[in-house]
Copies of this chain bind each other. A is one copy, B any other.
Amino acid sequence: MSAVSVLFRRELRLALRQSADSVMVIAFFVIAVVLFPFGVGPEPNMLARIGPGVIWVCALLAAMLSMERMFLGDYEDGSLELLVLSPVALELVVCIKVAVHWLTTGVPLICAAPLLFVMMNVPEEIWPVLLWSLLLGTPVLSLIGSVGAALILGARRGGVLLSLLVLPLVIPVLIFAAGAGDAVLFGDGAKANLMLLGGILLGSLALTPWATAQAIREAVA
């Protein structure tokens, strides 16, 4: 059977069996969002106002938390250098790992989002746009995150360093994604924002795997 599918099934099995399990990611996402009403107080219209932004920021942080382990486990137990030595192209390995990461974190986040829309009583008319923005945005998080996750290999206390490297890179995503909601509310449609998000997605799809693969080669040398 093809090496790709072998790798894919292994990654998926590992993701579901050990590392940041999807249920956990949702839980963190929800809890993090829930923290804000505690922090900023419960007025509904204010929550509605900040809702999309908060939800997006928390989605970002949730993805971040699970990102650190994307390569760390394989690096520490020596699997990563063996994957580098494997006949499969490293770029392909990276793509598979990113895909699995998105499936096990991004997708659950998207599924959990509507619940949070209710809790932060986000106006119904912008729900679809926000969901679209998540659908286009979360893969970008996984892609850009993979670069960071590869760069921190070896550096201890990865988690925080990772956030440092990745957060600035994903700020544009955040702006366009969270902006999409307002765009709808204030008349001018969100098409532009979503187009831009799509563009970013394609761009990072084209670039990040190479950067990540290179970073990994450096790490195991």
Name A residues whose Cβ lies closer than 8 Å to a Cβ of B.
Answer: 17-21, 24-25, 27-28, 31-32, 35-36, 38-41, 46, 49-50, 52-54, 56-57, 60-62, 65-66, 68-69, 73, 155-161, 163-164, 167-168, 171, 174-175, 178, 182
List of B residues within 8 angstroms of A38 by Cβ: 53, 171, 174-175, 178
Q: Give A17 to B157 CA distance when docked, in angstroms.
A: 8
Interface residue from B39, B155, B167 paired with A52 (Cβ < 8 Å): B39
| Docked CA distance A182–B19 (Å) | 40
Whether the pair A35, B50 counts as a contact (CB closer than 8 A) is no
Contacts of A40 in B (CB 8 A): 49-50, 52-54, 178
A161 touches B19 (CB 8 A): yes
- The reply to whether A160 and B65 contact each other, CB–CB distance below 8 Å, is yes
Bound form: Cα–Cα A66–B159 in Å: 7
Q: Contact check, A41 vs B182: say whether CB atoms are below 8 A apart.
A: yes
